[in-house]
């Protein structure tokens, strides 16, 4: 998805993991995934650059769809869709 | 006609080979579980930290995690508030000399008589890295299993009653690690 599409995507759950370093954001994402349903989009906010690589790996393993990442001022928004 | 027959035989031979390969792949897929086994031997703070970070990441990805703690790593399982009773002199000495709990572990490098760990802990806090204590708590909630090596526990004179309250703690021997590691898709030694 393009940055524009990501920014306008309907997000079912936003996980603010900016207060935690690796592997915190992944752990926060795992804890939150149960609260959304299949097809829902979740965004993960992280100040940890590794999250941009880790979330796609997690999605790949679990079968979720990784949508992309957007860089904000000093942090990242990573988007994924639950399978 | 002859050529057609030869082609048929060739195709049949190929089909047989493909079936054999399919069976082999199915076997290989069954052999390894989505499981991580780590033999945690080092009691250095940095190495315990590495073991816990990898384990938490694996568990967050729904990989089953089994940690086999032996030798120096047992220091990380000691509860500073607990003591073991009925120890002989050597066991008592080991008890005094070895770090009592996660908060007392030394670094494998740049320990500098305890200055190093203090600096690392300060940096970890500043950069929002979970503390070892928090990691063990998260590990417990994620269902990460810790297996204590009975033999090294006996060698170092540790008693079961001085270990931390961890929800998935058990005691076993080396064969348990070998069996667990044998069926894990990832095996590590730290």
Q: Which DSSP string do the residues of A10-75 spell out, in sequence order?
A: --SEEEE-TT--TTHHHHHHHHHHTTS-TT-EEEEEES-TTHHHHHHHHHHHHTPEEEEEEE-SSS
3-state secondary structure of B132: helix
In A, which residues are within 8 Å of B141 by CB distance?
A: none
* Binary contact (B130, A62; C-beta < 8 A): no
Tell me which residues of chain B have a C-beta less than 8 Å from any C-beta of chain A: 53, 56-57, 60-62, 127-130, 138, 142
pLDDT level of residue B148 (50, 70, 90 thresholds):
very high
Percentage with pLDDT > 90 across chain A: 84
Tell me the two tokens of residue A51. 């999250």
Contact A20 B130 (CB under 8 A): yes
Chain B residue numbers touching A29 (CB-CB < 8 A): 60
Identify whether A22 is a catalytic site residue.
Answer: yes
Taking CA atoms, B120 is separated from A17, B77, B99, in Å, by: 22, 20, 17
Model confidence at B2: pLDDT above 90: no
- Predicted complex ipTM: 0.86
- Report cis status (omega within 30 of 0) of the bond before A23: yes
- The arrangement of secondary structure in A3-81, i.e. its CATH architecture, is 2-Layer Sandwich (3.30)
Chain A residues within 8 A of B61 when measuring between CB atoms: 26, 30, 57-58, 61-62
Do the chains contact at B53 and A22, CB–CB below 8 Å? Answer: yes
Cβ burial B164-179 (10 Å sphere, 16+ → b, else e): bebeebeeeeeebbee
Chain B residues closer than 8 Å to A58 by CB: 60-61
Per-residue model confidence (pLDDT) at position B1 = 58
Nearest CA in chain B to A64: B61
Q: Judging by DSSP bridges, how do beta strands A41-46 and A13-16 pair with one another?
A: parallel
CB of A20 within 8 Å of a chain B CB? The answer is: yes
B116: confidence class by pLDDT, cuts 50, 70, 90: very high
Identify the pLDDT of residue B24.
87
Residue A80: the pLDDT is 96
**Which A residues 46-65 touch B at CB under 8 Å?**
47, 54, 57-58, 61-62
- Give every residue of chain A whose pLDDT is below 50, as ranges: none
Q: Tens digits of per-residue pLDDT, B77-99?
A: 999 999 888 888 988 888 899 99
- Would you state the pLDDT for residue B150? 92
What pLDDT shows up at residue A35? 95
Backbone angles phi, psi at B89, to 5 degrees: -60, -45
Q: Is the pLDDT of residue B3 over 80?
A: no
Measured between alpha carbons, how far is A16 from A12 in angstroms, rounded to an integer?
Answer: 13
Which of residues B55 and B8 earns the better pLDDT score?
B55
Angle, CA of B149, B51 and B188, to the nearest 5°: 70
Q: Which pLDDT does position B177 carry in this prediction? A: 93
pLDDT tens, residue by residue, B18-39: 999 998 888 777 678 999 999 9
**pLDDT for B84:** 84
């Amino acid at each position: 998805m393009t940055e524009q599409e990501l920014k306008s995507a309907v997000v079912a759950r936003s996980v603010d993991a900016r207060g935690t370093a690796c592997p915190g954001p992944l752990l926060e994402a795992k804890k939150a995934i149960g609260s959304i349903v299949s097809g829902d989009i979740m965004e993960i906010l992280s100040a940890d650059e590794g999250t941009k690589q880790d979330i796609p790996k997690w999605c790949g393993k679990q079968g979720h769809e990784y949508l992309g990442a957007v860089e904000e001022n000093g942090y990242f928004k990573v988007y994924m869709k639950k399978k | 006609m002859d050529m057609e027959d030869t082609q048929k035989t060739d195709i049949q031979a190929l089909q047989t080979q493909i079936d054999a390969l399919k069976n082999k792949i199915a076997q290989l897929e069954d052999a390894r579980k989505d499981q991580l086994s780590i033999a945690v031997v080092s009691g250095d703070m940095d190495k315990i930290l590495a073991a816990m970070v990898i384990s938490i990441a694996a568990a967050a990805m729904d990989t089953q995690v089994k940690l086999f703690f032996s030798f120096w790593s047992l220091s990380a399982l000691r509860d500073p508030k607990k003591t073991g009773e009925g120890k002989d002199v050597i066991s008592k000495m080991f008890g005094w000399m070895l770090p009592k709990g996660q908060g007392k572990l030394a670094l494998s490098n740049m320990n500098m008589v305890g200055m190093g760990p203090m600096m690392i802990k300060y940096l970890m806090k500043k950069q929002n890295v979970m503390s070892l204590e928090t990691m063990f708590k998260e590990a417990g909630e994620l269902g990460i299993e810790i297996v204590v090596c009975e033999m090294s526990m006996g060698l170092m004179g540790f008693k079961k009653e001085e270990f931390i309250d961890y929800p998935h703690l058990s005691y076993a021997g080396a064969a348990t690690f070998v069996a667990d590691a044998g069926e894990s898709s990832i095996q590590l030694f730290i």
